[in-house]
Amino acid sequence: MNEIERRMGELYGELARHSRLYYEKDAPIISDAEYDALLQELLKLERERPDLARLDSPTKRVGGAVLEKFEKVEHERPMLSLDNVFGAEELKGFADRVEAAGEAFVCEMKIDGLAVSLLYEDGVFVRGATRGDGRVGEDVTENLRTVKNLPLRLEPPVPGRLEVRGEVLIPRDQFAELNRTREENEESLFANPRSAAAGSLRQLDSKIAAARGLGIFLYYLADAEKLGIHRHSDALSWLAVRGLPVQEAWARCETLEEVEAFIEKWREKRYGLNYVTDGVVVKLDDIFLWEKLGATSHAPRWAVAFKYPPEEVFTRVLSIDVSVGRTGVLTPVANLEPVRLGGTTVQRAGLHNEDEARRKDVRVGDRVRVHKAGEIIPEVVGVDLDARTGAEVPFEMPEKCPACGSPAVRLPGEVAVRCLNRGSCPAQLKESLRYFASRGGMDIRGLGGKLAEQLIEKKIIGNLADIYALTAETLKSLERMGEKSAKNLAEAIEKSKKRPLSALLTALGIRFVGDKVADILAGHFGSMKALRGVSEEELALVDGIGPVIASSAAAFFRDKANQELLKRLEKNGVNMIGEVKIQQGWVFSGMTVVFTGELTSVARDEAVLRVKELGGKATGSVSAKTSLVVAGEKAGTKLEKAKKLGIRIINEAEFLEMLNKRVFKDSRPSSEVGGRVPS
């Protein structure tokens, strides 16, 4: 085996692994730029030795595998990827190949998200699918319904069948907040916005997708010629007129010089957009030429993606602080000499934990290389060891909490160093207060980090229950708090008392209990009273609750201080009852229901809600635990799987009949039919 053959084998293995992590797990471990570099190296070697190129080479592929948990959707026309170019010379090569007719181009910002195809019938959104492997994608219709800027009905309506394509994204501010929350919950962080968007859209529970604040921009109109549209620029305008979201950062360019000017214009300006872009997509404007030029196995010949180089800068570490989070975790943070990076001035960069700080050996005084993870979060990439003078000061994790002076310990099996003074550590209380009031928790608008700091420093608040003793008069006395703001905040506090039990469970900040787990707990137990007395063993039996979560939640409810907190919250009028009471004998009690195909008489979201209201739960995949499958029109692989497993299958009319009955008369003992009755 020669050197080229050996290296190609290595690249095939490495790229396959990274593709699985990127497309199927939504958990990449290298940057897009690093992946592109490996792909370009392989492409170069394949050109040198085409006889060694594999048929399944990643240079010939579009995306990743289709996940089995979703129904499959076969695309009417392939959803291809784009070839990349990385400089002016390669861009000119593309232009020379396609500019024979002197045609104009359209430039659009390349969005770092997940490609989807949307289907409308007579102006109504009926189906959405991921790109998948380019020919078969995943049906993610219900999750796409939660994307707020996607119209579910077109105005004016478009008769007949309409397919459009675009990119689902997560805004910059949402991404930063999402990762901050995940870090507080000690969950793995999303590597970039694309992973966050993909991970959100491929959830079986659409509530999770809804909570992520996803957005979408459309960039393709199928069968444009049938609508009398012959230019891509006109197609984009046509989409926008009908209320379909199209990004504003696009332009029609008559010449290559105008294309290059667009690329330069947005090189820095793109950082002002509230979504991440890593380049510019350049397309021929004339749609007729698209068909004429055709495509390779994985990319069209009439379009290309110009990729901006990843931005990294050098700066110096002035000091290293340690912040204390909501769960008591101590996190080292490097304070930097201010430096311009990705459109903003960066002064701080997280070092994640003690092990990471040691691995990188970042010292005070070091010259370090910094980039923005996902073009958003400042991160120290490495140290310039050649620049060291010997005066640099190594970092040591403190033995005491910098906020309260309590011992800082590293528990067995954990990477985090933690302050265990949960009850009175001001830093933990401040973060707990901010988290409690956040939109995913008790949704107390106006109660942010700075106000929380004031309330704690002035000793107005000593624990979370004290929030409900605040009055407009008390709030008015605080700095930068006018009479109207104080009144609005007092009203928001009062309103938060009616939040659902699942929101309260999220807001309490129980370790490993995020919104999804909180929803499971609230739905299963039905009341805080039932949860207060629950054992670790009982929790572990709940579907969706693993042993780690069960142990953490049981420990929280056993804790005397937490028991007292819950009593005070209840006394102050905070809702402690689940929004859906699951009763024995209701028509779907104890049943796991799966919907497949299209329902015509009731919306899918409404059907799922009715199942929950009548004692059951709805999931997105068929398994041995499934009790019932409701098959609508055009039912797919879920129906076939249900038949193989011998699961009961009903049609939409039978489902509606069950809804009307509400109470299920069954000869089986109640222990076989229902779940736990909430207190």
Asked if the model's pLDDT at residue 480 lies above 60, the reply is yes
Q: Could you tell me if 259 and 107 are in contact, meaning their C-beta atoms sit under 8 angstroms apart?
A: yes
pLDDT at 101: 55
Domain 3-60 listed as CATH 3.50.30.10 = no
Q: How confident is the model at residue 633 (pLDDT cuts 50, 70, 90)?
A: confident
What confidence score (pLDDT) does residue 610 get? 75
- Output helix, strand, coil percentages for the chain, rounded to the nearest 5: 40, 20, 40
Q: Which of 409, 397, 358, 404 shows the shortest CA–CA distance to 380?
A: 358
Mean pLDDT, residues 188-206: 79
* Domain 592-673 in this protein, CATH class: alpha beta
Q: What is the pLDDT of residues 539-583, one digit of tens each?
A: 888 877 888 899 999 989 998 889 999 999 999 999 998 854 444
Range of weakest confidence among 48-57, 119-128, 373-382, 578-587: 578-587
Domain 426-496 identical in fold to domain 501-571: yes
Strand 303-307 relative to strand 84-85: parallel, antiparallel, unpaired? parallel
Q: Which amino acid is at 289?
A: L
Domains of the chain, by residue range, sit at 3-60, 72-307, 314-409, 426-496, 501-571, 592-673
Of 413, 395, 427, the C-alpha closest to 330 is 427
For the stretch 462-472, pLDDT in tens is 989 999 999 99
CATH superfamily of the 314-409 domain: Nucleic acid-binding proteins (2.40.50.140)
Domain 426-496, second-level architecture: Orthogonal Bundle (1.10)
Instruction: Indicate if the alpha-carbon torsion angle 63, 68, 71, 76 is positive or negative.
Output: positive
The whole-number pLDDT of residue 623 equals: 86
What pLDDT shows up at residue 505? 95
Q: Is the peptide bond before 156 cis (omega within 30 degrees of 0)?
A: yes
CB 337 within 8 A of CB 316: yes
Q: How far is CA 166 from CA 193, 210, 216, 455, 614, in A?
A: 16, 18, 7, 46, 37
CATH numeric code, 72-307: 3.30.470.30
Which pLDDT value is given to residue 56?
61
Task: Tell me the CA distances in angstroms from 401 to 231, 352, 396, 416, 418, one per residue in order.
Answer: 63, 16, 13, 13, 8
Architecture of the domain defined by 501-571:
Orthogonal Bundle (1.10)
CA angle 465, 466, 472 (to 5 degrees): 130
User: What pLDDT is attached to residue 257?
Assistant: 94
Whole-number mean pLDDT of the chain? 85
The pTM of this model reads 0.59
Helical packing angle, 193-201 and 172-184, nearest 10°: 80
pLDDT grade, residue 247 (50/70/90)? very high
Question: Which segment of 11-25, 312-326, 381-395 scores lowest on mean pLDDT?
Answer: 11-25
Chain segment 70-99, per-residue pLDDT in tens? 788 999 999 999 999 999 999 999 998 887
Which of 339-343, 428-432, 519-523: highest mean pLDDT?
Answer: 428-432
The catalytic residue positions are: 110
Contact 346, 271 (CB under 8 A): no
Lowest mean pLDDT among 161-165, 539-543, 662-666: 662-666
